Chains A and B, each alone.
Chain A
Amino acid sequence: MRLAEAWRVASDALRANRMRSLLTMLGVIIGVASVVILVAIGTGTKQQVEQQVEGLGSNLLLVVPGRIEVGNAPVVSPLDLSDADAVSRVVGDPGRVAVTVASGATARAGNRSDFTTVQGVLETTPSVFTRSLSRGRYLTGADVDTSRRVAVLGDSVARALFPDRDPLGQQVTLAGVRFRVIGVFAPLGQSLGVDRDDEVHVPVTAAQRLWGTQRIDGIAVKAPDRERIDELGDRIVAELSRRHPDTEFSAVTQRQILGVLGDILGVLTGVLAAIAGISLLVGGVGVSNIMLVSVRERTREIGLRKAVGARPRDIGVQFLLEAVLLTSVGGLTGMALGVGAALLVDAFSPIPAAITWWSLALAFGVSAAVGIVFGVVPAQRAGRLDPVVALRAE
């Protein structure tokens, strides 16, 4: 029997049981759609995070105590501002060096409050990290030198504390100490569900005084020469290690951050796809089940076809195609639904979603393969039916 003929017979059989075919397909549709949606969300998130890291600038070098590895406990930093000066000498330009000492704190203004991250920083921060303000001004060298109690608010903090008035010139209380608002950052948006606008920058000296410490958490450097960024990192680490022999330091570049984040998000996407794959598998079991029913129901038809000359293979191919048709039509429908849902999620929710051709190819390929795998047993059973027995079936 020609393949085209077998296709026709298979599609006729599916049309004859529209409702059943549809319900059977539904399992596959849901499975494929969820694979497409979840992979799209995983991919979209990964792309967004990568974009944000890239937005930091490819020349960025982060110097922190300890090792940048998943599973390593954070290290208490031995660094202080004199280390930042030492790093500045290595780099040769203090304007390319930023520091941070950060802690959670409650910010209050009037009767409003907001728990946020307070960052003690140098005036160099906007140029090292490429940040811009929506209003007011940023910290100056004088602010840092004199530990002036001035603050630059992240967009979310400004909205939370001053929903209906201009925050510039207003007082905020950070950990019980009053600061004057001198600027507001331009919004950055969310990353992995974290609000990047939920922060307050104050002079690092004021922050150290606030928490009664001399230390800083880390140093960031904007390397002057992208080609020799790794060499610069090595030199900085060597200098810091000389100053603090008991601590290990790491200098990581944007590329390394991207690598680590990419690995994590890749695993995340894989896990999401696997979960969705399970529902596809369940859909496949449904197909297998319904194909067995179909073979049993059509036993007499199989007997008749065999009597008039159908070979076992002809019958097997017919039923296999029926299963493959079920899953591939279901797969295509699921793909369409998945793509539609992913586009909606991307457009109307903060969760990013990106469709990739490989996820579509994979979802369709898997659904067709599910049809073959779960159709083989029923098809073989049909092909092997004894025509005498089959013709007698009720």
Chain B
Amino acid sequence: MSGHHISSAKFLWGVAISLFILTFLTVGVAYIHIPEPWNVVVKISIAAVKAVIVAAFFMNLWWDSKFNVMLFIMSILFFVLLVGITLLDTLYRVDPVPSF
């Protein structure tokens, strides 16, 4: 059955080490000073890669039923909806914060 995938210890260590390397990378990138919009993009991309690695190989989504994968993606999608549509308001206000 889909739910009973057993990873080898070597494999799990490999996953963890790749996550460690990516953490070093993201800290390193912070010291290079990439110009403004791109530094965020790079750091969030690294974080996203790490999250996908954890989800796929630690949380076993790689071997799991597609419905669980869909759930995970759906939660991200609705988060993007929340942020995206809220930004439609907050970015385009004449006065960013009503002054009191």
Are the chains A and B members of one assembly?
no
A-binding residues in B (CB < 8 A): none
B-binding residues in A (CB < 8 A): none
